[in-house]
Amino acid sequence: MTDAKTEARAGLIAKVKRRGGRGDRSPLGTWFFDIDRMLLLLTLFLIAIGLVAVAAASPASAVRYSGEHHKIAPLFYFWRQLLWVAVSLPVLFGMSMLPLATARRIAIIGAGVFVVLLAATPFVGVSVNGARRWIGFGFAQFQPSEFLKPLFIVTVAWILSLKAKDDELPTVLMTGAMTGGVAVLLMLQPDFGQTVIFCAVWLALLMIAGTSTKVLVGIVALVPAGLVSAYLFYGVARSRIDAFLFPAVDGEGAADHFQTNAAHATLVAGGWSGTGPGGGAAKFGLPEAHTDYIFSVIGEEFGLIACSIIALVFLAIVVRVFVKLLDEQDEFKLLAASGLAVQFGAQALVSMAVNTGLAPSKGMTLPFISYGGSSMIALSIGMGLLLALTRRNPFLTRSPYVVRWSGR
């Protein structure tokens, strides 16, 4: 039976070569037939939804951030987001075309560069709303942590995959030290939300990599201790938790709880079908309508049905990736693609949970939908890497029995 499979596969490969890969062996043609077109289509759908959502939220943010001597046009944020999309799409397509070895090398080098920039951010960064997370000035500002996420995940996946070649390597300790270092740098900014995402993805990668149950239980047991320590010694975490659980503790907590209440009220203001594009009024009370709370704006103007569809699209992307990885034999590709999918889904889940009042305010953008240049470009890098990692030749991965049955 094994010999029959081998002969059938060899015959299939020869047939593909004779046919020239559906008649097009150019790099672009090869990419088109190898790429997961459904995953790409869902991503482009999210980007299109994002443009519509930013257009809906832009007037509210323009009113809030217009000063006495500086008036912002109603669609100012929409036009800038359109520019960021125009920059990001070539990045997404370019990353998705990279050979696996090149993509891995770029991710490892890029992770090193952005860790250095992340370490420099508290000292040379720009302060925005009390947090120092940005480097640069004016239009050229960028957020190193956003770019670090996908690159760091691929790097951690590569280190964990080395365990299959050398069982003596302390990969858990190595990646744990790396994640802990990044977490400390993020908390200095402070950015508690991103810290949670980095740690959650690392833990997910350990589980997918088949780390021993004893080690996983030990790490999970440290989570409550870490949360208690964060509450006792990390003021940002304490204020967020107090604001969520005890809104009347102090003025800062009450203000933070007001944001969550305003987001929830805006989300449900439009009912199931929404008020219609431009018809929302509650969005003008949101502090960050075009970024952190854009999901609430969608709920008001396009309805809870539209919000449900968006949530299902995020779920479909994550499920699609894991289904494609069910028969993946390459340890690195399995871990890297899984990690990127977990990060993408976790960020979307946290953002939607904050908007619905199920989680404390974290300043987390909704992937491909919220306004932001750093977020859009970094997400395009991550999705481009994910598309590169899940790229497969549809002829060479087809079962020989299906080929025989179809007469090919």
372-390 pLDDT, tens digit per residue, is: 888 999 999 999 999 999 9
**Cβ atoms 215, 369 nearer than 8 A:** no
Assess if residue 385 is contained within a domain.
yes
Average pLDDT estimate for 275-286: 85
SS3 state at 126: strand
Residues β-bridged to residue 50: none
Q: What is the pLDDT of residue 176?
A: 93
Average pLDDT estimate for 285-311: 91
Question: Which range is most confident: 43-52, 116-125, 180-189?
Answer: 43-52
- Chain centroid to CA 246: 30
**Cβ atoms 302, 270 nearer than 8 A:** yes
Assess if residue 6 is contained within a domain.
no
Left if phi > 0, otherwise alpha if psi is -120 to 50, otherwise beta: which for 110? alpha
Peptide bond into 190 cis (omega under 30): yes
30-39, 146-155, 231-240, 286-295: segment of lowest average pLDDT: 231-240
Residues β-bridged to residue 48: none
- At residue 5 the predicted structure's pLDDT band, cuts being 50, 70 and 90, is low
Assess if residue 399 is contained within a domain.
no
Distances (CA, A) of 385 to 122, 207, 290: 29, 21, 27
Assess if residue 375 is contained within a domain.
yes
Which residues have a Cβ under 8 Å from the Cβ of 218 and sit 6 or more positions away? none
Other C-beta atoms lying within 10 Å of the C-beta of residue 99: 10
Calpha distance 262→283 (Å, rounded): 8
Assess if residue 29 is contained within a domain.
no
- Total domains present in the chain: 1
Assess if residue 3 is contained within a domain.
no
Name the average pLDDT for the chain: 83
pTM of the model: 0.85
Calpha distance 192→241 (Å, rounded): 11
Assess if residue 406 is contained within a domain.
no
Question: Is pLDDT at 215 greater than 80 in this prediction?
Answer: yes
Which residues have a Cβ under 8 Å from the Cβ of 100 and sit 6 or more positions away? 333, 388, 389
Calpha distance 132→50 (Å, rounded): 26
Angle between helices 37-65 and 373-389 (to 10 degrees): 170
* Range of the structural domain that residue 114 is part of: 36-390
Assess if residue 1 is contained within a domain.
no
Average pLDDT estimate for 84-105: 94
